[in-house]
Amino acid sequence: MINRIKYFIAKLWMLLFGGKGELKSLKSNTAIVSHGNLSPDSCKSLIDRIDTELQVAASKVVWRDECQSDHRILSFENLVPEIIHELKIPEKIKAVNKYTGRRTKSWYLMANKIEPKPGNKGSGGGWHRDSAFSHQVKFIWYLNDVDEKNGPFQFIPGTNDVSFFENSKCLSQTRFSEVRSIPQSVEGSSGTLLVCDTKCIHRGKPVLSGVRYALTLYTFPTKRGASNNFRKLGFEALVSN
């Protein structure tokens, strides 16, 4: 019963306050892809910076998965503040606010490099949704060419609008060992921007060969949203920043 109530509240909220602005098509399309959002020179410069920071930043801001495939630099904007203007972060946040109907109160950029390692689950650790009830938005910039082999973002279209008639467990489930529907893979050249309602079921496909570099914008409707993420990952030093 509680899950049904949460479902109705989230549905009513989007009906009354959300689903507006330039991202409104996410509600029906799940994802929006635009090519050439960043120049080749910008992408190359950012890749070089990521590789440098992965070597020198050590454990202070770098998280790695258990098989050393996914390397993440947290709060990348603190290391490269000019990226805020280049990626037009304030405009992106305004668009998120209009779509979710909630004001963003905290955010951060994550830069990551994903390599092929035995047993890797891809970016995000397998199939999941970021929220079972609330709509959320992520902006993901590919910094190098991405195809089926080097870890494209994958999503199940329409799963950001789960049916009320799903059983109660499915309504609240956020992790999935497998999916029955055919996923859509987002391939693209360097500079491609993917915007996704990450209430949908999604993942970074496990990397078979090559490498994938990307930037991801995370936004939260609470002041502690970003800090809570850092704390869960064991980065207390970032919580006070």
Say if 16 falls within a structural domain. Answer: no
Among candidate residues 241, 238, 240, the one with its CA nearest the CA of residue 57? 238
Domain range for residue 226?
Answer: 30-239
Q: What percent of the chain has pLDDT over 70?
A: 94
The residue with tokens 């279209």 is 157
Residue 30: both structure tokens together: 């799940």
Over 70: is that where the pLDDT of 163 sits? no
C-alpha to C-alpha distance for 110 and 75, rounded to whole angstroms: 6
Over 90: is that where the pLDDT of 146 sits? yes
Say if 111 falls within a structural domain. Answer: yes
Say if 120 falls within a structural domain. Answer: yes
Q: Which range, of 18-22, 33-37, 143-147, 160-164, averages the lowest pLDDT?
A: 160-164
Average pLDDT estimate for 168-188? 88
Q: What is the CATH number of the domain that holds 42?
A: 2.60.120.620
Say if 185 falls within a structural domain. Answer: yes
Identify the band that residue 4 occupies on the pLDDT scale cut at 50, 70 and 90: confident
What residues form DSSP beta bridges with 155? 184, 202
pLDDT for position 171: 76
Average pLDDT estimate for 125-154? 96
Quote the number of domains for the chain. Answer: 1
pLDDT for position 180: 87
C-alpha to C-alpha distance for 185 and 174, rounded to whole angstroms: 20
Over 90: is that where the pLDDT of 135 sits? yes
Say if 19 falls within a structural domain. Answer: no
C-alpha to C-alpha distance for 170 and 164, rounded to whole angstroms: 10
Say if 23 falls within a structural domain. Answer: no
C-alpha to C-alpha distance for 42 and 45, rounded to whole angstroms: 5
The number of angstroms, rounded, from the C-alpha of 163 to the middle of its chain's C-alpha atoms is 23
pLDDT for position 168: 57
Structure-derived torsion over alpha carbons of residues 154, 158, 160, 165, reported in degrees to the nearest 10: -130
Q: How many CB atoms lie within 10 A of CB 38?
A: 19
Say if 20 falls within a structural domain. Answer: no
Say if 161 falls within a structural domain. Answer: yes
Among candidate residues 158, 152, 161, the one with its CA nearest the CA of residue 203? 152
